[in-house]
Amino acid sequence: MEATDKVFAGPIPQIYDRLLVPLIFRPYAEDLADRVMASRPSRILELAAGTGALTRAMAARLDGASIVATDLNQPMLDLAAAQLPGNDRVVWQQADALDLPFADESFDAAACQFGVMFFPDKPKSHREVRRVLRPGGRYLFNVWDAVASNDFTAVLLDALAEAFPADPPRFIERTPHGYHDVGTIELDLMAGGFARPMIERIEKRARADSAVDVATGFCQGTPIRGEIEARGAPGLMAATEAVAKALEHRFGSGPIEGGIAAYVVSAQRE
């Protein structure tokens, strides 16, 4: 993983939240929130909260419980907090998932929405989660399946490869879609001290008002933006337009939809 893969700053958080959250993150946030709240935890830790898609879904289901929502990127947390004003059951805190600033056995459940892929030392992050979970506590997270199983990202990468044939941007393939091997996930969790996890593959549909919205979300609302800008010509706007045209060619003009797939992982501290 490149150092820039974890940088969500500048205009990225706003574009990410406006276009990508409803497109691909909200459907899985609703699913994961149901799973987290099923055990009726009283204190929940969220890792890599981003702009708060999962936080909001869990907050809507709270029944006396509280959430500590963390992320490495303060700009993402600031945007997330602004969308849940006055909610005293949600605390926002900047934190590194590899060095959590919390006491041992201080949470009943932990959750992470499409963030584990960004952790540079996954077994270490799992050990940290296990440390702060109480015995019997569950850790639930989701990760994207391979690019080939996610229609919009597959078209995106093909279009960017045509736009930058000598050195195509690889962020999407390298990091968000780079942690989908079930065997590796199991081994990493067990190396972190968890028992063998339960892993379920979930397919959903992503819908957008236009191909331009999808192209703008991915090209300008993720760290792939920095990769595109670093390459110079044809430039960010031209690359976004090329991706939009490729999406229109595949899915048509006007509102579009495509398949998305992810794994949901559940591990318990024994």
Q: Which residues contact 128 (CB under 8 A, 6 or more apart)?
A: 97, 98, 99, 100
- The 10s digit of each residue's pLDDT in 202-255 is 999 999 999 999 999 999 999 999 999 999 999 999 999 999 999 999 999 999
Which helix (DSSP H) or strand (DSSP E) does residue 127 occupy?
Answer: helix 122-132
Look up residue 104 and give its two tokens.
């041992």
Q: Which residues contact 192 (CB under 8 A, 6 or more apart)?
A: 122, 123, 124, 125, 126, 127, 129, 130
pTM value?
0.95
- The 10s digit of each residue's pLDDT in 150-171 is 999 999 999 999 999 999 999 9
Terminal CA-CA length for the chain: 31
Residue 119's SS3 state is coil
Angle between helices 182-191 and 122-132 (to 10 degrees): 50
CATH 3.40.50.150 correct for 3-268: yes
- Give the position of tokens 């952790």: 119
Low-confidence ranges of the chain (pLDDT < 50): none
Domain ranges, ordered by start, for the chain: 3-268
What is the CB neighbour count within 10 angstroms for residue 38? 12
- Give the position of tokens 């998305």: 260
| Residues of the chain by 3-state class (helix, strand, coil), percent to 5 | 45, 25, 30
Nearest to 90 by CA among 152, 27, 33, 159: 33
pLDDT at 101: 98
